[in-house]
Structure 1
Amino acid sequence: MFMRETFKSPENRYRPKMRWWLPGAYMENDEIKREIEWLANAGYGGAEIIHFFGIPTEDVEPEQYVRYGFGSDEWNDRMKAALETAIPLGFQLDFTIGPLWPIATPAIMDREDDRCVHGLHFGTRAIIGAYHGQIPGAETIDGERPRKLVAVTAARLYNGAATIGKAATLDLESAIDLMKAGCVDILTERIAWSPPDDGEWYLFAFWSQTNGQMNDSISAPVVDHFSKDAVDAITGYWDERLLGDPYLRMLYEKNAGCLFCDSIELNATMLGGMYGAKPLAVSIWTPELLREFRERRGYDLTPYLPSIFIKGLYQLSVRNADEDAEFDFEDRSANRRIRNDFHLTLTEMFRDNHVRVLREWANRHNMRLRYQTYGLPTELTNGLLEVDIPETESLGFKDSTDGYRLQSGAVHMKNLEMYSIEVGAVMGFGYKQTWTGKEYGLLWQLHRGFASGVNQAVLHGMSYESTSASGHFRDMFKWPGMSLMGSMFSNEWGARQPISRHSRGIADYIARNQYVLRMGKAKVDLAIYRYHIDGIHHDILTEPTVYEQAGYSYDYVSPALLNLETAKVGMFDGQPVLDADGSAYKTLIVDTRVHSDGSWRWSPYMPLDIADRLLEYAKEGLPIVLVGEGASGVLSYNGDYNVMEREDDELRQKLERLRTMPNVRHVPNQEGVVEALRKLSVLPAVRTPASSPLIALRRYDQGDNYYYVYNSSLKSEFQGEVVVGGRGRAYLLDAWDGSVYPLEAESAPDGEVAIPLRLAANESALVLVTPLDLGESEEKLKMTPSDNPNILQLDNWTLTVNSWTPGSVPFETRIEKIELELGEGLKDWTDIPQLENKSGIGCYRTSFVLSESEERLPEAILQIGQLSDTFRIQVNGTPLHAVNQIDRRVRIGKWLKTGVNLIEIEVATTLNNALLKLDPHRKPEPHGLVGPVQLLY
């Protein structure tokens, strides 16, 4: 139930968190305490602790560095200080499972350990006739390190017209396991084999080797993310070293934070580099994969191993899992199904042997598991079924609302309370990302996440305030301090930037949104069936999708989600829906996937049992829309081409039967879906004017309907009516100041409410429709001060700038006061000679006279034009707290008076322009108040 006091002053659990980069244990307990207290006072509800690099201080000798690593006594002492400070404040600390990323542990320091992540390499040789010789070696393998022979196979070169394999196309039926046939001597690494005919054949040898990828923080190898033994080493180290002290274990458990894992940044091999690696034909691997594949898929992968090698797919490269492999068989549909089986096996091993084990361990210690489960070629939603708090990110998903929905279906169908986002990492925006700007402004990023189901923000990020650095880190130690990522990626949101002075108002705004976005359960218009292997998300659409443009909210659902117990048809709002007690999807769409450049469309794969479920759904009255052919075929190869074809034919028959049902529509392409939905009387929960830029989300809690409505345009305001469902009275919940305003809207007999809204570009609104009486509310909200307001242009400004400048040491900032008479012209600081290359806090003052005859003063609005970045206002000496930083229209009538009035506007900037002299790669950014500033009354 909505609580006005909680909305006004949200509890810490609703507040945003901060990613906090720490320099190993080279910290002071007093400084840890100071920074946690600063974060709490600035409005944050918690921090995510990351052991970044161990950055030694000048008073520590090199031979002592080992004392300051992850899990050391020194580290544990620092964590004890952090927890002892945070717990009384109700400030929750989350902890990465190991230092930095990808996951590593001090329990495994040998990169040849089988518990490290592996790559599978292949060597090949073309032969005609009998072969007696050495097993082919792999060019991609590191010859100086141990490797293990996994399999030796052969296949005939395909002599037909197909040229599917990028290097060669092979005959599917000829594929043979030569080790199983007894043709391989493992000790001498030789083959003795005669092909059954005199055609051209290819021999393949598959070699496994640990990938050599290291965690830079502690120089430890990255662990195998598919191995339970690897996870046991991680949790065992926690039990022994981090939780070994009973008092410290008590603090961790009392804190009740999260164990956190970042995105899975694994490379099958490091020979091509890490990020932007040279694409190599090496596959991700794990020692038990062939055994687990047989148990899970029911056939042997070995003869078909040549088809899993898509160059670059397993190296964090931007590759498509549907591309052809280097060596593929002549039937593309069979190749893709074999790879489906391989990738699904990886997915299930990751889920069962890694994620589930971590979650169960964390839960035993009163922690939850928060995990970014993407980055591998896996089926994303399947792994999420074992995560307490799924997390997405603005960087990897390119600020795409469509991309965020890849995980929202799992969040909603599993009835998880939170869907988290790592928000704010933008390359090249260190010290220049703003809160409110239109170019990667943090609120722009966050609003897009909120509109897609996200309801917890973790800001990227803040560095610990080091006071010294030695060794090669000394060159990085420059004003305004040691920035562990901020000089490359945005942002340093801590106290070292002027905009930090306005953090509290922004944090309160985020917290109020997150409070409302966790009320009840999300109710989503559409469930869109999707089965896809997601590596790095190259085909995400950033522009509004067809469904968003038509006003629909939607989630992506996969076979894993449709196999949940909740995935059944029930009734909600008087109509059949899927998952009635949860998301209450009004229809299921079997859609095509469209590449972001429009170059191709692809129908998803569908298991037969899911087709049966669709038939049951349709019989029970759920509207269904099939796009194109509906499905490319069954998901699995099934170990036999003929079995696969028979199941494909059975699937086609089921889909044909589905098309004949009265509540099912079949359209040729995505563009026809919206019209089909109208004919099925499936309307969006939030109906907006045609072609509006609004994106909306609904949550429902025991008769209360909450709506988040976002104007995704960065150019135009929206003003008009939106129609929402619900009975009772409509209220606007102002997330900026915590006020609750009744709206001039009445519930119609059919349970719909027409609500007037005005939203500036990039602005959002929270609306509640409830049958309950919320009691006394604030005064009636006016869209404008009057139909024909008087307009007073405010000129003749003075400006006092507290300019932030370097001190005598890198972590010290000095304040230089600059006073200016601006006269009638407000200008960007970059256009004012005295403020060139300056950053800081600017206080603008002006006065004006209002006559006693004015009758419209109570309705007066101060309309502030362009500024960067955030602002505060005083009217006649009265501070106006928590004003709207996006719309910048502030109701000030109650504080005005006849005679002379004084307006003060305080503007905080980023530190970017003050760093121009220190960093020649930077460019000046807009700073200060540009205006115009007008009084409307």
Structure 2
Amino acid sequence: MMKMRSVYGFVVPALAVAFVLVSWSARAQAPTISQKIADVSSQFTTPPDDARVLMRWWWFGPAVTKPELEREILAMKAGGFGGFEIQPVYPLEPDDSQKNFRNLPYLSNEFLDVVHFAAQKAHENRMRVDMTLASGWPYGGPHVPVSEAASRLRMVAIDVPSGAMAFALPNIGNGEAMLAAFVGDGSAKTYDTASLKQIDVHAVSGRAEIPSSQQRRVVLCFVASRTGQQVKRAAVNAEGFVLDHLSSTAVQNHLRIVAEPLLKAFGDTPPYSVFSDSLEVYNTDWTDDFLMEFQKRRGYDLTPHLPQLFGGDGVEAGAVRHDWGLTMTELVNERYLTPINDWAIAHHTQFRSQTYGDPPVSLSSNRLVGLPEGEGPQWRSFSFTRLATSASHLYGRPVTSAETWTWLHSPAFRATPLDMKAEADRMFLEGVNQFVGHGWPYTPPGTPEPGWAFYAAAVFNDHNPWWGVMPDVSKYMQRMSYLLRQGKPANDIAVLLPNDDAYAEFKPGHASLSAEMKQYVTPALTEQILDAGFNLDYVDSESIDRVGLPYPVLVLPHMSRLSPETLKKIVEYAKKGGKVIVVGSKPSEAPGFLHAEQVSVEVKASTESLFALGAGVQFVAEDAQVGEAVQRALKPDVHVASDVANVGFVHRRLEDADVYFVANTSNHAVHTTASFRTKRVSAVWWDPFTGAMSNASASPLALDLAPYESRVLVFRDGPQSALSKAKVGTKTQVADLSHGWQVRFVGLEQTESMETLHSWTDTDVTRYYSGEAVYSKDLQLEEKQLRGTNLILDFGEGTPVEADPKIASGMRALLESPIREAAVVIVNGKRAGSVWHPPYALDITPLLHAGKNIIEVHVGNTAINTLAGRKLPDYRLLNARYGERFVPQNMDHLQPLPSGMLGQVRLMGEKIK
């Protein structure tokens, strides 16, 4: 007899799965891409497994055992996930020999053995496995000496009183070096960089001599230093400095000491990809040979201009900072991204990278990695996710993944299936077509439910009380991820990122293109483009140089610095029919310092040439005018008559079809019409939850979307006679099922006759209960009630709510379900489906018959109720042993949440006409 494991009342097999994957192997495979709608429609109902959701699998400690690793791999498979990314992180318990509990030191033989085991089990189960080339993030650890640690430029300002002929030099520690010193009038707080003079520093017992002066002066000393940043959330034995991402030596040593053993642990089946998390190398802006590399690349010595990096203003200082920032980008491209990508290819895997943050990588830096990845659901403002998807569109990467559900509905265990969908849909709208869920926390056997959790993330493992609907949630993500890979992207608007202006804004310790960009690509600019009926990609000067401008409209936002070479390409683009919209300011300045005056003349001349072309080039003074400008340039792709700020779309173009994903991102229903810019004559709705297809009305067509509802509309040539849309009349109530339920609380062996539906928290016995409750009820039906009628089990509508101002991080669906939080419906012993998103209704017609019918609704809530009834874990001994490596987020003052079926439950009839 198969052993079963009960998790919060949902019974799942311990050594078997309900969903079998058939195509994933540990080796890299090309994603399934088609250009013909017939091929796509044949796979839409049952999409290929390469589009399944992946999970970031946190190994805490890591204190993992092989039996539990295998059990959790099979649980992932049962939930519909296609694989996992192994992420060893901080410990949650100290070692305890009496409990046979041990944290395996990172990179130890024991640790590498369990990595091998997990990879082997993934391969046996045809699941994908990715490996992070580090513990925690960013890359680093105990193998990084201070001489290879993340670097920064440090300035020490020293007040020198009048008449002084010497001053005390700043302390130079290990890993540091004095670069230069300058003296001038002023103080440490106020000085004029233009008046500073470089001086020779000859130290005598920690002091240096300077000529005497009757003026009060300041000495600025510039030191090549280290940030001191430690690896975040490191596993045991993975603690240490973050490495210098601009240093070839540091990166190569990391690959040799960390990456090589990890890959060897996989044996003959390398991981699908190796992973680099977001570049959060805070305050980094230097490396040991920076001055030499700067001279070679920029053509002048940076040393005399060091004061301008810290205190300079004006055009010249901005030009120097531009050159400094550009040099950083080139170095991180050449010394971090390129060698890791090359290393991955040499080891028969791929490099998956979140290429944004610090140091300042650019959009086109993504071309150097095999698998670009984004993060963040900010679809109506500047987004790290759109950086990755835009790069994929430009450089021919068919799949863009995203770290998804980070901080979703904090605290841990609070997120619901609807929260997952609300964020996933925003990711789809930005062009994502592969999810890496954040995440799946490993939990040792015997740990009290709901088990372990990452300090700042949602939980999507089988300890979650609503786990019973996870296969349906993951199938939706899989189906849509597959569909949004097909054909080619069809975004109309390219927004040129003002990298040159952003570089000029850099300051020491704050050198990030992605951080600066939001002041140029503002929410207002993005909203204007989206609300005008278009979708957009980003481009940069490098992408224009490499692949051109494959978009009908180009927007230049708030840009003053731009190279003449890029401007000349834009002029040629406009001459060939491309439309250009310049917002806020016209390019007029050279990007960099060398020959700036001459180059600026060229910039102004090219700008004048652009505007001399006439009607195809528009200038608008502010972001609020962009929407009208793009509509003058091009007919909208999708025109939504109302609620335009809440309805988003993604357009994919096949050889013989146009595919639109349309989503309501709001917590209220949308009733409007929409027109689509396509010449194809036949429109078909594709149901993203079931794969079913039905004919749609002609454009403009009625667009009726429940809160957070999404749909797929396909336009193709020729009639779709094989499909028919059932015409239904007005819904009428067949039976009110809001009363007289028998409720069995599985985890408590507690039953209740619930005459009137109410929350589990209303009674003492179930107030702190998290798990499953089975609602059962008999339903009598006559034959005439079944004839020619669709019968819908309707649980009511959701209730809109406001965002909680006390929880600033993450997002959530601002709608409370009438079922808290999800349910599986069983009719006469057979699964009818699940209820976890609006509309909260399920067609159960095929399972009903005349006479007595047995309705069962298996409801799962969140784990918050259980957690609210107990004290928080005491990490005092853990922190004493390992140091404080995390702080649980938003876990204080938990209260039990309403749970169960709470709405008016009705059986509704739709007469088929």
TM range (shorter): 0.7 to 0.9
Q: TM-score, structure 2 length as denominator?
A: 0.82
The one-letter code sitting in structure 1 at the alignment partner of 2:665 is S
Give the direction of change, closer, same or farther, for the CA distance of 1:100–1:781 in structure 2 (3 Å limit).
farther
Contact 1:373 1:384 in 2 (8 A): yes
The answer for the alignment partner of 1:607 in structure 2 is 563
1:232 lines up with 2:252 in the alignment? yes
Contact 1:734 1:766 in 2 (8 A): yes
| 1:214-613 matched pairs, under 5 angstroms | 214-215=230-231, 216-217=234-235, 218-238=238-258, 240-244=260-264, 248-252=266-270, 256-268=271-283, 284-309=285-310, 328-329=311-312, 331-376=313-358, 378-394=360-376, 402=383, 404-426=385-407, 429-437=410-418, 441-467=419-445, 479-483=449-453, 485=454, 488-531=455-498, 532=502, 533-534=512-513, 536=515, 545-564=527-546, 566-567=547-548, 578-579=549-550, 585-592=551-558, 603=559, 605-613=561-569
Q: CA deviation at 1:189?
A: 5.8
Q: CA deviation at 1:377?
A: 5.2
Q: CA deviation at 1:85?
A: 0.7
Give the direction of change, closer, same or farther, for the CA distance of 1:304–1:793 in structure 2 (3 Å limit).
farther
Match of 1:821 among 753, 756, 771: 753
Give, in whole Å, the separation in 2 of the partners of 1:773 and 1:370. 42
Q: CA deviation at 1:24?
A: 4.4
The one-letter code sitting in structure 1 at the alignment partner of 2:462 is A
Give, in whole Å, the separation in 2 of the partners of 1:492 and 1:606. 45
Give, in whole Å, the separation in 2 of the partners of 1:291 and 1:886. 60
Give the direction of change, closer, same or farther, for the CA distance of 1:393–1:832 in structure 2 (3 Å limit).
farther
1:910 lines up with 2:889 in the alignment? no
1:75 lines up with 2:95 in the alignment? no
The answer for the alignment partner of 2:877 in structure 1 is none
The one-letter code sitting in structure 2 at the alignment partner of 1:48 is E
Give, in whole Å, the separation in 1 of the partners of 2:46 and 2:573. 44
Give the direction of change, closer, same or farther, for the CA distance of 1:851–1:675 in structure 2 (3 Å limit).
same
The one-letter code sitting in structure 1 at the alignment partner of 2:268 is M
The answer for the alignment partner of 1:6 in structure 2 is 43
The one-letter code sitting in structure 1 at the alignment partner of 2:288 is P
Match of 2:617 among 622, 640, 664: 664
Q: CA deviation at 1:80?
A: 1.4
Give, in whole Å, the separation in 2 of the partners of 1:716 and 1:414. 38
Q: CA deviation at 1:21?
A: 0.8
Give, in whole Å, the separation in 2 of the partners of 1:853 and 1:56. 63
Give, in whole Å, the separation in 1 of the partners of 2:657 and 2:609. 39
1:926 lines up with 2:898 in the alignment? yes
The answer for the alignment partner of 2:8 in structure 1 is none
Structure 2 unaligned residues grouped into runs of 5+: 1-33, 503-511, 797-817, 872-891
Give, in whole Å, the separation in 2 of the partners of 1:392 and 1:617. 29
What secondary structure is seen at the aligned counterpart in 2 of 1:932? coil
What secondary structure is seen at the aligned counterpart in 1 of 2:280? coil
Contact 1:123 1:136 in 2 (8 A): no
Q: CA deviation at 1:427?
A: 7.5
Give, in whole Å, the separation in 2 of the partners of 1:453 and 1:604. 29
Give, in whole Å, the separation in 1 of the partners of 2:829 and 2:382. 42
| 1:640-651 matched pairs, under 5 angstroms | 643-651=595-603
Q: CA deviation at 1:350?
A: 0.9
Q: CA deviation at 1:849?
A: 4.3
1:116-149 deviations in Å (ceiling 9; x for gaps): 11222111235588874246427xxxx7655311
1:375-398 deviations in Å (ceiling 9; x for gaps): 215253132221222222238x69
Q: CA deviation at 1:553?
A: 0.5
Give the direction of change, closer, same or farther, for the CA distance of 1:676–1:710 in structure 2 (3 Å limit).
same
Give, in whole Å, the separation in 2 of the partners of 1:61 and 1:898. 61
1:15-56 deviations in Å (ceiling 9; x for gaps): 011110113453222221111111112100110101113567
Contact 2:389 2:400 in 1 (8 A): yes
Q: CA deviation at 1:514?
A: 0.2
1:688 lines up with 2:640 in the alignment? yes
CA RMSD for the aligned pairs? 3.2
Q: CA deviation at 1:521?
A: 1.8
Match of 2:743 among 800, 803, 808: 800
The answer for the alignment partner of 1:780 in structure 2 is 725
1:87 lines up with 2:69 in the alignment? no
Q: CA deviation at 1:157?
A: 5.6
Q: CA deviation at 1:361?
A: 0.4
The answer for the alignment partner of 2:16 in structure 1 is none
Mean alpha-carbon deviation: is it higher for 544-553 or for 349-358?
544-553
Match of 1:150 among 179, 191, 197: 179
The answer for the alignment partner of 1:184 in structure 2 is 201
Contact 1:415 1:521 in 2 (8 A): no
Q: CA deviation at 1:59?
A: 5.8
Give, in whole Å, the separation in 2 of the partners of 1:857 and 1:187. 100
The one-letter code sitting in structure 2 at the alignment partner of 1:613 is K
What secondary structure is seen at the aligned counterpart in 2 of 1:231? helix
Give, in whole Å, the separation in 2 of the partners of 1:202 and 1:11. 67
Give the direction of change, closer, same or farther, for the CA distance of 1:65–1:223 in structure 2 (3 Å limit).
farther
Match of 1:679 among 632, 636, 642: 632
Contact 2:141 2:239 in 1 (8 A): no
1:316-355 deviations in Å (ceiling 9; x for gaps): xxxxxxxxxxxx23x4333333222222211111111101
The answer for the alignment partner of 1:758 in structure 2 is 704
Q: TM-score, structure 1 length as denominator?
A: 0.80
Contact 1:873 1:906 in 2 (8 A): yes
Give the direction of change, closer, same or farther, for the CA distance of 1:489–1:244 in structure 2 (3 Å limit).
closer
| Amino-acid identity (%) | 24
1:494-522 deviations in Å (ceiling 9; x for gaps): 11111222211111110001001111221
What secondary structure is seen at the aligned counterpart in 1 of 2:636? coil
The answer for the alignment partner of 2:801 in structure 1 is none
Give, in whole Å, the separation in 1 of the partners of 2:408 and 2:482. 30
Q: CA deviation at 1:775?
A: 9.1
Match of 1:207 among 223, 238, 243: 223
Give the direction of change, closer, same or farther, for the CA distance of 1:851–1:466 in structure 2 (3 Å limit).
closer
The one-letter code sitting in structure 1 at the alignment partner of 2:157 is T
The one-letter code sitting in structure 1 at the alignment partner of 2:391 is A
Contact 1:136 1:204 in 2 (8 A): no
Give, in whole Å, the separation in 1 of the partners of 2:565 and 2:93. 58
1:837 lines up with 2:768 in the alignment? yes
Give the direction of change, closer, same or farther, for the CA distance of 1:518–1:772 in structure 2 (3 Å limit).
farther
What secondary structure is seen at the aligned counterpart in 1 of 2:696? strand
Contact 2:743 2:754 in 1 (8 A): no
Give, in whole Å, the separation in 2 of the partners of 1:59 and 1:400. 49
The one-letter code sitting in structure 1 at the alignment partner of 2:459 is E
Structure 1 unaligned residues grouped into runs of 5+: 159-165, 269-282, 310-327, 469-476, 568-577, 580-584, 593-602, 746-752, 804-814
Give the direction of change, closer, same or farther, for the CA distance of 1:305–1:842 in structure 2 (3 Å limit).
same
The one-letter code sitting in structure 1 at the alignment partner of 2:704 is R
Give, in whole Å, the separation in 1 of the partners of 2:90 and 2:731. 61
Aligned residues: 810
Match of 2:78 among 37, 41, 45: 41
Q: CA deviation at 1:401?
A: 7.1
Give the direction of change, closer, same or farther, for the CA distance of 1:523–1:45 in structure 2 (3 Å limit).
same
Q: CA deviation at 1:93?
A: 0.8
Contact 1:742 1:781 in 2 (8 A): no
Q: CA deviation at 1:625?
A: 0.9
What secondary structure is seen at the aligned counterpart in 2 of 1:249? coil
Give, in whole Å, the separation in 2 of the partners of 1:399 and 1:234. 38
